[in-house]
Amino acid sequence: MALIVQKFGGTSVGSIERIQQIAKKIKTFKEAGHDLVIVVSAMSGETNRLLGLAKQMSVKPNLRELDVMVSTGEQVTIALLAIALNDLGVAARSYTGGQVRIVTDSVHTKARILHIDDQRIRADLKANSVVIVAGFQGIDEEGNITTLGRGGSDTTGVALAAALKADECQIYTDVDGVYTTDPRVEPKARRLDKITFEEMLEMASLGSKVLQIRSVEFAGKYNVPLRVLHSFKEGPGTLITIDEEVSMEQPIISGIAFSRDEAKLTIRGVPDTPGVASNILGPISNANIEVDMIIQNISQDKTTDFTFTVSRSDYQMAFDILKETASKISAKEVAGNLDIAKVSLVGVGMRSHAGVASRMFGVLAKEGINILMISTSEIKISVLIEEKYLELAVRSLHKAFELDVPDKTLG
Ligand code: ADP
Ligand code: ASP
Ligand code: MG
């Protein structure tokens, strides 16, 4: 008998029928004698629908109110699932994040979990009840409803598993595991049996939305055994593990991540004096905007061009701040570009293999894809390219690094 936290994503609870199917699945686990804490997302499309309503009301909705509204999606699914389980004769109780006391900071729409009160959950488990918790939401110290950022139900699941010292956290979704790249873009992508926390963290932070990045951070920090599985198909899924034994057959690259959520900003003709980077990026970071890639070029006239990338949702705010900075520091102009994307190779095998970057650049050059920016770390290489080349880049890299599923028809 184990304590298992199971998280079901939006498509898995996307209709009444699916919620009934999930309830049956949970019943089977319960009958096998496990203690179960279930985390659910809103029905697929619901969070976007709610956000759309707020956008109709105001171009810049108040973030506290946005959280009050957008958290309702998950409140519906927890109750529906509890009703479905009760109908199957399974004792189940649903809780919002606030009711559990998943306490977060007060950064609305991207709050971080500070601590979780496990009393209520433990009492219900002791009474042999299935506990259902709304994903994606919490409450701050003042009692305001907060949300954890898009895809945040994964983080609720892993954080609960950590707080309860669960035996495993299972993330049920619409793919049967973590693949070498998003199978929607490359149908030849392969399911991985295992991936290290470190690699998964890079994959998630570089755009693979199969797991929210904070959920992987939590799992790594608290050593929560984490598995990604298909909600409606049997299979071993993918285990996220600390085991980093790189076997001889292990490919150098474990996966390819990509992100369209990129925006590039350039400030040109900045007088080149000490403190330039801090003058430009200080106000951006003060506005809570995360900067990703950065390049600075010095030209002969002793001025510098400074380019950096931010997430698309922060683009407008970053642009306005940069315009203000430009007039303060007598820069020539500010330019921006949203038609870009980032493609990254990830793999712990890179540590022991030289030449991955040049091979990557060679593959892109052969396809006529221009590289706009590059950044590297020990286990990843990222390039920024024009968005129109994204699929081509992912597929040609997938093939060149021998990640394609073997073609069975050729024997
Ligand atoms: P859920 O609603 O269950 O949280 P998500 O849509 O957030 O599901 O995440 C699952 C999706 O992640 C898949 O449908 C797939 O398109 C996408 N995805 C991106 N990268 C990968 C990858 N490397 N492996 C598997 N799925 C991936
Ligand atoms: N419903 C939220 C979202 O769509 C959280 C989640 O699904 O994980 O982002
Ligand atoms: Mg998700």
Nearest to 336 by CA among 265, 247, 275: 265
Ligand nearest to the CA of 73: 2
Quote the mean pLDDT of the chain.
Answer: 94
- Tell which wins on pLDDT, 302 or 158: 158
Say how far apart CA 396 and CA 388 lie, in whole Å.
Answer: 14
48 Cα nearest atom in ligand 2: 4
Which residues does 83 contact at the CB level (< 8 Å), separation at least 6?
none
CA of 318 to the centre of ligand 2 (A): 25
Q: What is the pLDDT of residues 119-174, one digit of tens each?
A: 999 999 999 999 999 999 999 999 999 999 999 999 999 999 999 999 999 999 99
The helix (run of H) or strand (run of E) holding residue 304 is strand 303-310
CATH for 3-174?
3.40.1160.10
* Rounded percentage of the chain residues whose pLDDT exceeds 90: 89
Burial of 351 (0-12, 13-18, 19+ CB in 10 A): exposed
How far does CA 10 lie from the centroid of its chain? 14
Lowest mean pLDDT among 181-195, 292-306, 371-385, 388-402: 292-306
Average pLDDT over residues 334-353: 94
Q: What is the pLDDT of residue 410?
A: 52
Alpha carbons 131 and 156: distance in angstroms, whole number: 13
Q: Is 384 exposed, middle or buried (0-12, 13-18, 19+ CB in 10 A)?
A: buried
Ligand 1 atom closest to the Cα of residue 177 is 25
What does the alpha-carbon distance between residue 354 and residue 351 come to, in Å, rounded to a whole number? 8
Ligand 1 nearest atom to the CA of residue 173, by list position: 3
Assess whether pLDDT exceeds 50 at residue 290.
Answer: yes
Q: Would you give the DSSP letter of residue 256?
A: E
Q: How far is the CA of 393 from the centre of ligand 1 (A)?
A: 19
Residue 55, pLDDT > 90, answer: yes
- Residues 369 and 352 sit within 8 Å (Cβ to Cβ): no
Q: What is the dihedral of CA 97, 98, 100, 103, to 10 degrees?
A: 90
User: Given this model, what pLDDT does residue 208 score?
Assistant: 95
For residue 409, what pLDDT band results from cuts at 50, 70 and 90?
A: low
How far from chain centre, in Å, is Cα 288?
18
pLDDT bin (cut points 50, 70, 90) of residue 249 is low
- Categorize the per-residue pLDDT at 302 as very low, low, confident or very high, splitting at 50, 70 and 90: confident
pLDDT at 167: 97
Q: Quick one: pLDDT band at residue 186, thresholds 50, 70, 90?
A: very high
Kindly give the number of the ligand 1 atom that is closest to the alpha carbon of 212: 7
Q: Residue whose CA is closest, atom 4 of ligand 1?
A: 9
What local confidence, expressed as pLDDT, does residue 411 receive?
44
Cβ of 200 below 6 Å from ligand 1? no
Give residue 244's pLDDT: 63
Using the atom order of ligand 1, give the atom closest to the CA of residue 255. Answer: 23
Average pLDDT over residues 305-328: 95
Which residue is listed with tokens 């609720």? 156
**Most confident option among 254-258, 375-379, 403-407:** 254-258
Closest Cα to atom 15 of ligand 1: 182
Q: How far is the CA of 172 from the centre of ligand 3 (A)?
A: 10
Arithmetic mean of pLDDT, 304-327 = 95
- Please give the helix or strand (H or E) that residue 207 lies within, else none: none
Ligand 2 atom at minimal distance to the Cα of residue 150:
9
How many Å lie between the centroid of ligand 3 and the Cα of residue 151? Answer: 4
Indicate the domain borders of the chain.
Answer: 3-174
Ligand 2 binding pocket, CB closer than 6 Å: 9-10, 41-42, 47, 73, 135-136, 150-154
CA distance 134 to 79: 9
Q: Which residues of 203-225 are buried (b: 16+ CB within 10 A; e: fewer)?
A: bbbbbbebbbbbbbbbbbeeebb
**Which residue(s) pair with 115 in the sheet?**
103
Tell me the C-alpha to C-alpha distance, in Å, between residue 349 and each of 180, 198, 346.
14, 12, 9
Confidence at residue 272, expressed as pLDDT on a 0 to 100 scale? 87
- Cα–Cα distance for residue pair 290/365, rounded to 1 Å: 30
**pLDDT 10s digits, 82-116:** 999 999 999 999 999 999 999 999 999 999 999 99
Distance from Cα 9 to the centre of ligand 3, integer Å: 6
Closest listed ligand to the CA of 155: 2
Q: Is 152 in the pocket of ligand 1 (CB under 6 A)?
A: no
Question: Which residue out of 18, 77, 210 has the highest number of ligand 1 atoms within 8 Å of its CB and is therefore the one to mutate?
Answer: 210
